A = this chain, B = another copy of it.
Amino acid sequence: MTPDVAQDERVRVDLSDRSYDILIGGGLLAEAGARIAALGAHTVGVVTDENVANLHLQTALGSLNAAGLKAETIVVPAGETSKSWEVLGRVVDGLIAARVERGDVVLALGGGVIGDLAGFAAAIVRRGVRIVQAPTSLLAQVDSSVGGKTGVNSPRGKNLIGAFHQPSLVLADAGALDTLPAREFRAGYAEVVKYGLIDDPAFFGWLEANHAGVFAGGPERTRAIATSCRAKAAVVARDEHEHGDRALLNLGHTFGHALEAEVAYDGERLVHGEGVAIGMAMAFRFSASLGLCSLADAARVTAHLAAVGLPVSPRKIPGGVGGAEALLAHMRQDKKVERGRLTFILARGIGKSFVSRDISEDQALAFLESELG
């Protein structure tokens, strides 16, 4: 069942004429040039950040040059602040200046911020050029690089400006994760766990048994990434533009986003994956308190997240967060809000998540008070 050596895996995202492959394995960055040349591009606009440039840009550029591609690099500051209207404008201008044309490709080399920023820029330069995602964080490999959601933040909220723009190819180099700080790897792991909790209890069980191997690297890591991508690809294929099923991917995110907003997106205090970990634990506790799932299941979720060092309670956030009312206010300003109704992803057990629009604000408030009190 578990192979002894890491092998490349291929996951197909099935979206008719926008279908594409996700490749997962070691050393894929060094193959970027050949694989992009095979798409028929001539010029590649590489978008990356200062940190990733130091670690991986040389490998990527060497590969592009070796394949005979013309490459122009646009480097932005590392961090969430680059997901802004102003930085987007600079990236767009850089791609136009580099003469990236309709048959060409933008290469997003970096984590989720770079993927969202470069993907959005590619969506709007010349009304759309192709994007190849080369995610270098676990979070980006298992989540943001797959599915075509791109965008930047507005001062009024995260990801409020963006586009659906599917990549032409995703190159998830599992070896690139060896350079990730432990905290960032762990945060990405929260999204891996999420796929088990949504609808794959066997995968959750496999993670409980094999998480050490995923963290150490090797075949378990490749398998965990591929399983996650396959799960996301299936949801995206069913619901590309988030009218229904895709909302399940927000398990843990309604609470998580509110917590991130409460710390003003201060990554020192809480990174996205940590917010999701706390949010998933809260979603299961909320589900248990509503009588939807067993207390044992909620405890099992909390135990596994805690076992890998992820936070599971809003009380653990350094500096604390505001009260229940403040969290609820953040949850109301969410782009998935429909006519003022809150949407929660709740669960009837591990692997039995569902979308609920039946929760009253009073119920949410009472639960938030119990979590913070």
Binding site for B on A (CB under 8 A): 42, 85, 89, 92-93, 96-97, 101-103, 120, 123-128, 149, 151, 154-157, 159-164, 241, 335, 337-339
- How many protomers of this protein does the assembly include? 2
The answer to whether B97 and A164 touch across the interface, beta carbons within 8 angstroms, is no
The answer to whether A124 and B126 touch across the interface, beta carbons within 8 angstroms, is no
CA A101 – CA B241 in complex, angstroms?
15
Given contacts A338-B101, A339-B42, contact A128 B163 (CB under 8 A): yes
The answer to whether A103 and B339 touch across the interface, beta carbons within 8 angstroms, is yes
What's the least CB distance linking A269 to chain B, in Å? 26
The answer to whether A96 and B157 touch across the interface, beta carbons within 8 angstroms, is yes
What's the least CB distance linking A87 to chain B, in Å? 12
What's the least CB distance linking A155 to chain B, in Å? 8
CA A239 – CA B103 in complex, angstroms?
17
8 additional contacts (CB under 8 A) given A125-B161, A126-B162: A42-B339, A93-B154, A96-B157, A101-B339, A103-B338, A127-B162, A127-B163, A163-B163
CA A103 – CA B335 in complex, angstroms?
11
Given contacts A337-B101, A338-B103, contact A127 B151 (CB under 8 A): yes
What's the least CB distance linking A197 to chain B, in Å? 25
What's the least CB distance linking A39 to chain B, in Å? 15
Q: Which 5 A-B pairs have the closest CB atoms?
A: A126-B335, A127-B162, A96-B156, A85-B89, A124-B161
CA A241 – CA B85 in complex, angstroms?
26
CA A123 – CA B151 in complex, angstroms?
12
Of the listed residues A123, A127, A162, the one surrounded by the most CB atoms of chain B closer than 10 A to its CB is A127
CA A144 – CA B92 in complex, angstroms?
23
B residues within 8 A CB of A149? 127
What's the least CB distance linking A144 to chain B, in Å? 14
Given contacts A96-B156, A156-B97, A157-B96, contact A123 B163 (CB under 8 A): yes
The answer to whether A96 and B339 touch across the interface, beta carbons within 8 angstroms, is no
What's the least CB distance linking A210 to chain B, in Å? 35
12 contacts between A and B (CB under 8 A): A96-B157, A101-B338, A124-B124, A124-B163, A125-B160, A125-B161, A127-B149, A127-B159, A127-B162, A127-B164, A128-B164, A163-B163
The answer to whether A335 and B156 touch across the interface, beta carbons within 8 angstroms, is no
Partner of A126, one of B96, B120, B160: B160
B residues within 8 A CB of A102? 335, 338
The answer to whether B156 and A93 touch across the interface, beta carbons within 8 angstroms, is yes
